[in-house]
Structure 1
Amino acid sequence: MRLSRLHQTHYRNGPDYRNQADVSFQDIQHAFAFSTIKVGRWVTKEEQQIAANLIFDALFDLATILNLPSQALGLKRQLNLAFGTGGQAGVQAHYAPYSRTLALAKNAGAGALAHEFWHAFDHYITDKVFSPPHYKFSSDTWLNKNTLIAHPLNQALAQCFKAVLLSESGNEPSHYTQTAITLDKKLNQLYYSRPTELMARAFEAFVQDHSAITNRYLVSGTQQTELAKAGIYPRDQHREAIGQAFKLYFYQLGFALKKSSR
């Protein structure tokens, strides 16, 4: 019998949030304040248990890395989570803005969670940062110079966009952006160089570079894969500068959220 890829071990080094106990998808919904969670009908009970533990750990790792309260990941209960349902052939995971759903494939979602969370966050935050927002995602909106709502958090997020998408002078695309444009031209497509995708991959790199937590179900492949070597992820000093910008933004966001909950 062919075993599900869920049975494979996904390397992780981080805190034990579950006290080595099993959790359920209901526990995930409560801990991270998702609006709804849907599990596919073809996911067995055993696969559900394995996936619930993996996703629970990965989301807590992400909240820890971002310095956010765990319930912030549900984006004020506007984000839905789907596992093993409504997938697309050959796609690890995807975010559907029309339904605000982060969907993980049963056998291929490992390593894509951080990437898709950024898409969900990028979508959610748009109308909190820009007035009026003319695009669904804040990264697209920022690049098209829409009006930023005056707030220190929005200024810090804008610095993340600048650090990723533009050169140090701010007058031209970053080398990372230029590399993606060149690759898209070679492949006759528009994908890697889209602002939403550039930001999501930069966010992945930031998450994977965390010194104290490693979780390959959350993120993997930003350093040693062939695509990484081709330059579709930030590298070297640029990668460090991006990481510092993300770290500063999420530290401030986490501080504000924790202060408001007191």
Structure 2
Amino acid sequence: MSQLMAKKYRRGPDYRFGVDVDFAEVRATFGFRAISLGRWVSAEECQRAANLVYDALADLTQILAIPPEAIGLRQTLTLAFGQGGQLGVQAHYQSTTRTLALAKNAGCGALAHEWWHAFDHYISRFLFTSQVSRLAFASKLWLTREDINTHPMNQALNSLFRHLFLDASAHHSSDYMKRAIDLDNSAGRLYFAMPEELSARAFEHYIQSHTLQNQYLVNGTKQGELAKLGGYPTDDEARLLAPYFSRYFAILGQALSRSHDAD
């Protein structure tokens, strides 16, 4: 049995009331621009994946307290399943096409990480007062830009990034950042300390710390190999960061709900 078809642990509401969904429903519910399926995905795999993705994204909206249609980032995000990919890569986000791609047999546990990349990319255009590159990530730009937009939502994200990347003095790297730099030095490459990767792992940890549990959405931030090496926030660091994640997405969710009600 493939990794995809194996049963995944989940503790959360039955949003589907025991009924199967298809990817058309995933697209409509979560506001994706498009859904792209690989030509070698069987009907059985497609059905199983649609249910897994639907439940995982519904859990994500519950954890973040945002409307389901917000997942698709105003219909700018495409979800690809079982299409292309690289050997050993569970999932990836392609900024040039704004596509979140899940591998057919190895997408388990990577969905939250890759959605954060998509969100980090999308939000970059709103965080600063002047124009940014269409391929830029907000987390990466934050380290070199000071022109933060004064909107309360942006100030909340600014506070999150400050506590994520910097220590209490705001003049030196956080311990989490320092450990990521050490991991990169040991591996002889720049990856773990990249701001977009550092923030995605912190987001994963925040999601997995919720009472809702979904292994297809996120897995391995507590007891996985990278966690044991210090690649994720420690429990103390996570407790510090959690209120900033919660506050930011609470503000976002309220704004989106008001916008929806106005429509």
Q: State the TM-score, normalizing by the size of structure 2.
A: 0.97
State the Cα deviation string for residues 210-261 of structure 1 (Å, max 9, x = none).
Answer: 12x0000000000011210111000122111111110110011101110111
Runs (4+) of structure 1 exceeding 2 A deviation are 131-135
Moved more, 137-146 or 170-179: 137-146
State the Cα deviation string for residues 130-161 of structure 1 (Å, max 9, x = none).
Answer: 13244500001111124111100000011111
Distance 2:84 2:197 in 1: 21
Residues 205-224 of structure 1 mapped to structure 2, 5 A cutoff:
205-211=205-211, 213-224=212-223
Distance 1:4 1:226 in 2: 22
SS of structure 2 residue aligned to 1:125: helix
Identity among equivalent positions (%) equals: 50
1:26 aligns to what? 24
- 2:240 paired with 1:256: no
- Give the deviation of 1:102 after TM superposition: 0.2
Q: Is the 8 A contact 1:134 1:146 kept in 2?
A: no
Name the count of aligned residue pairs. Answer: 259
Distance 1:116 1:258 in 2: 24
Residues 21-170 of structure 1 mapped to structure 2, 5 A cutoff:
21-134=19-132, 136-170=136-170
SS of structure 2 residue aligned to 1:7: coil
Q: Is the 8 A contact 2:125 2:132 kept in 1?
A: no
Q: Is the 8 A contact 2:35 2:80 kept in 1?
A: yes
State the Cα deviation string for residues 137-186 of structure 1 (Å, max 9, x = none).
Answer: 00011111241111000000111111111112211010000000011011
For the aligned residues, what is the CA RMSD? 0.9
SS of structure 2 residue aligned to 1:204: helix
2:14 aligns to what? 16
2:236 aligns to what? 237
Distance 1:170 1:49 in 2: 48
Moved more, 27-36 or 137-146: 137-146
Distance 2:75 2:223 in 1: 36
1:227 aligns to what? 226
Q: Is the 8 A contact 1:205 1:222 kept in 2?
A: yes
Amino acid of the structure 2 residue aligned with 1:139: S
Q: Which runs of 5+ in 2 are unaligned?
A: none
